Amino acid sequence: MAAPVRPTEQAGTASRSGREPGRWSGLAARLRPRATFARHAALALLALVVVVLVLELTGPFRNSQFATMSYYAVAAAGLTVLTGLNGQISLGHGALMAVGAYTTGLLLPADVPLLLVLVIAAGVTALVGVLVGAAAARLKGPYLAGATLAFAVALPGLAIHFDEALGGEQGLPVPSPRPPDWFADAVYFLSANETSSAKYLAYVGWLVAIVAFLLLANLTASRIGRIWKAVRDDEVAAELAGVRLSRVRVLAFAVSAACAGLAGGVLGVVVRLAAPTGFTIVLSISLLTAVVVGGLGSLLGAVLGSALLVFLPPAVTDLGASAGLTDVQAAQLAPFVYGAVLILVILLAPGGVVGTVRARWHARTTAPAGAPEERTGRS
């Protein structure tokens, strides 16, 4: 038997969902699972379907771009949770990705299964994150940025110092995993396409991303996520309410680092190499710009921002080349346009893509009902 429905809640949903509670909003309300986890799981399932469709309908080069996008998205999601929800800034996530990539590079040749390797990579990086987070918990604003910046600059140097074990400047080769037969068969069953290496890696990347996003979404919607936001919004109030600030900060940093480690592991198998030159400060800053452009604190924003990281530079380069620039000039155009986009977003749409769209949406739906509700654009 169905559980009894509480009439008050039902009425509340109807009045909240817009001016015309027609059959569509009614259907949406009915389809929308009430439990947070169920709602997120349904979204994850939907995302999985989208991923399969997109990867099967695009060619191998796009597949490889989507593989790249998947690890940027996971790392950016970790960062957006840290910065957007807990208010800590990190310029060290590129180095944390290096930890994940090198862990993967060391474990994969030892015949450890890929999924286990990725979990271990996330775990090891989370431990590093605890160490960095413990130091960072005492710092704020520019000091925290400076400390994590130093970490980002220093860490790749370790790979050069311990070049016997870590391959030095020329890097540690990461064996590219081959798609298992059952996986290739399953994909063939669905789409009649063979599974290229690029496509398999894109699937691995996006499966990892979907799981990571599901966990992050639930975490941020839980008591822990609310505490993080409380610490971000008012430390004194949070402390008065019994929150132990440093412990919360360290936890947030560790969770965020685990995401970076996971992303680094995927990066390792996609790039097939972990080398210090791949984890410069530029990577850390790219992640931060992805988060800002997409919308700080929003997981969807992290996905949009990472899409920009992957698809904008080649598009701009091609555009420049077809506009008659030399190849060198066209290549130099890409970082310029990227910088210009970042400046414009900060000037014109400080909430990023997601923040701006959400603000517009709320302005439209709530304005006629009276005084507009104060929205931060972060949820």
Partner 1 sequence: MRRSRRVRALTALALGAVLALAGCGAGGRPDPGSGGGAASGGSTVGITADSVKVGSHFPLTGVAAPGYSEIPTGTKAYFDWVNAHGGVNGRKIDYVFRDDAYNPTQTSQVVNELVLQDQVFAILGGLGTPTHGAVLDFLGAEGVPDLFVSSGSLLWDQPRKYPTTFGWQPDYEIEAKILADHVATTFPQARVGLFLQNDDVGEDAERGIRRYLDKQIVSVQRYTPGNTDIGPQMSALQAANADLVIGFNVPSYTALTQLQGLKLNYRPQWVYSNIGADPVLVGSLLGRFSQGQVTDAALLDGMITDEYLPRADNPSDAWTAQFDAIWKAHGDGGALTNFRIFGMSQGYAFVQALLAAGPNPTREGLVQAIEKGGTRFAGPWAAPYRFTADKHSGISGAKVVRVTGDSTTALGPVRVTDNGDAPITDATNGETPVPPNGIPAAPGGT
Segment contacting partner 1 by CB under 8 A, of 106-114, 279-287, 345-353, 370-378: 279-287
Regarding 45 and contact with partner 1 (CB under 8 A), the answer is yes
Segment contacting partner 1 by CB under 8 A, of 215-223, 226-234, 242-250, 269-277: 269-277
Tell me the angle at which helices 60-80 and 245-271 cross, rounded to the nearest 10 degrees. 170
Size of the site for partner 1 (CB under 8 A): 59
Smallest distance, partner 1 to C-beta of residue 368, A: 29
Q: Which of 11, 14, 42, 323 binds partner 1 (CB under 8 A)?
A: 42
| Cα-only R_g, the chain | 22
Identify any residues that bridge with 173 across adjacent strands, giving them in sequence order: 273
215: its two tokens = 């966990």
Regarding 13 and contact with partner 1 (CB under 8 A), the answer is no
Regarding 114 and contact with partner 1 (CB under 8 A), the answer is no
Which residue, 55 or 302, has its beta carbon nearer to partner 1?
55
Regarding 3 and contact with partner 1 (CB under 8 A), the answer is yes
Closest CA to 221 of 365, 39, 12, 364: 39
Answer positive or negative: Cα dihedral of 283, 55, 205, 64. negative
Closest CA to 177 of 121, 122, 113, 267: 113
DSSP assignments along 45-100, one per residue: HHHHHHHHHHHHHS-HHHHHHHHHHHHHHHHHHHHHIIIIIH----S-HHHHHHHH
Closest CA to 87 of 95, 76, 97, 79: 79
Regarding 147 and contact with partner 1 (CB under 8 A), the answer is no
Regarding 21 and contact with partner 1 (CB under 8 A), the answer is no
Which residue, 41 or 245, has its beta carbon nearer to partner 1?
41
**C-alpha span between 109 and 93 (Å, rounded):** 25
Regarding 185 and contact with partner 1 (CB under 8 A), the answer is yes
Regarding 115 and contact with partner 1 (CB under 8 A), the answer is no
Identify any residues that bridge with 274 across adjacent strands, giving them in sequence order: 172
Q: Which of 9, 11, 19, 53 binds partner 1 (CB under 8 A)?
A: 53
Map residues 149-178 to x or -, x wherever contact with partner 1 holds by CB under 8 A. Answer: --------x--xx-x----xxxx-x--x--
Which residue, 18 or 313, has its beta carbon nearer to partner 1?
313
Q: What is the 3-state secondary structure (H, E, C) of 272-338?
A: CEECHHHHCHHHHHHHHHHHHHHCCCCHHHHHHHHHHHHHHHHHHHHHHHHCCCCHHHHHHHHHHHH
Contacts of 339 (CB under 8 A, 6+ apart): none
**C-alpha span between 328 and 84 (Å, rounded):** 37
Segment contacting partner 1 by CB under 8 A, of 14-22, 79-87, 274-282, 344-352: 274-282
Regarding 123 and contact with partner 1 (CB under 8 A), the answer is no
Q: Which of 22, 113, 180, 314 binds partner 1 (CB under 8 A)?
A: 314
Do the beta carbons of residue 199 and residue 60 sit within 8 Å? Answer: yes
**C-alpha span between 258 and 211 (Å, rounded):** 13
Regarding 366 and contact with partner 1 (CB under 8 A), the answer is no
Which residue, 50 or 367, has its beta carbon nearer to partner 1?
50
List residues near partner 1 by CB under 8 A.
Answer: 2-3, 5, 30-31, 33, 42, 45-46, 49, 52-53, 56, 59-61, 64-65, 68, 157, 160-161, 163, 168-171, 173, 176, 185, 188-192, 197-198, 267, 270-273, 275-278, 280, 282-283, 310, 314, 317, 326-328, 331-332, 334-335
